[in-house]
Amino acid sequence: MTEDEPPVGEHASARDSALQGRFEAVDAYFAQLVPENPALVATREAAAAAGLPDIAVAPNQGKLLELLAVATSARRVLEIGTLGGYSTLWLARAVGPEGRVTTLELEPHHASVAQESLRRAGLGDRVDVLVGPATETLDRLAAEGAEPFDLVFVDADKQQLARYVEQALALSRPGTLMVVDNVVRDGQVIDPDHPDDRVQGVRRMVDALVLHPRLDATVVQTVGVKGHDGFALVLVR
């Protein structure tokens, strides 16, 4: 390396920054396919104003959830991880006036923000926001004999993904589709010794899926405004 050359780390940083810029530009280009209506914009802005973390799905990802729900004729949807209700709103639109979305949220403040946004969007009557630890709520729903769900979206703490998927299975039927978000984690998932317990949570889920007798799965890698990540699609047999 000559004196005029930047350190290798600077090369990598500049390259990564340029790639991320390209990813975001491509997302912006395809945004013409996914126009946000005023209710979606208001929901996103309300979450930001309330101080919620900026970790909701991107508009193109929300549209994917809507398309999956419509394509599978889902009328009962389970969401694990409400946050500010942005993804919930996409799903509530998809199920139609006869459908129902049950969404689980740990934090009462997040749930309150989501409920208000859903009410303002005119869709509060088709969404049940259940507050508390998701593992406990899922057990309660199963014990109560809840009607099976057609679509499950898991976007909660990654440390418990394997448990969420197994609990959701108890609330599913043959043909139920599960979508598990944020499973690639910038490629860190390939490291068996990674210190991040979220990465290890994803790996435990993958281990559970590999030979699961009732679940058939794949993972799709994605890049975009959310960086390098991906989601698992899991079909109940």
Domain boundaries, the chain: 34-236
Question: In 3D, which of 12, 18, 17, 27 has the Cα closest to residue 226?
Answer: 27
Average pLDDT over residues 64-90: 98
Task: Give the pLDDT of residue 9.
Answer: 53
Helix (H, G, I), strand (E, B) or coil at 191: coil
Task: Give the pLDDT of residue 10.
Answer: 56
Q: pLDDT band at 7, cuts 50/70/90?
A: very low
Q: What is the pLDDT of residues 81-125, one digit of tens each?
A: 999 999 999 999 999 999 999 999 999 999 999 999 999 999 999
As a whole number, the mean pLDDT across the chain is 95
Given a contact cutoff of 8 angstroms between Cβ atoms, the answer to whether 124 and 138 are in contact is no
Query: What is the edge-to-edge ordering of all strands in the sheet holding 151-154?
Result: 127-131, 100-105, 76-80, 151-154, 177-181, 229-236, 215-222
Other beta carbons less than 10 A from residue 40's beta carbon: 20
Give the helix/strand (H/E) hosting 179: strand 177-181
| Rounded Cα distance, 176 and 50, in Å | 34
Task: Give the pLDDT of residue 99.
Answer: 98
CATH code at 34-236: 3.40.50.150
Q: What is the pLDDT of residues 119-137, one digit of tens each?
A: 999 999 999 999 999 999 9
Q: pLDDT band at 166, cuts 50/70/90?
A: very high
Measured at the CA of 47, the angle between CA 41 and CA 48, to 5 degrees, comes to: 90
Helix (H, G, I), strand (E, B) or coil at 222: strand
Task: Give the pLDDT of residue 8.
Answer: 41
Average pLDDT over residues 166-171: 98
Q: pLDDT band at 14, cuts 50/70/90?
A: confident
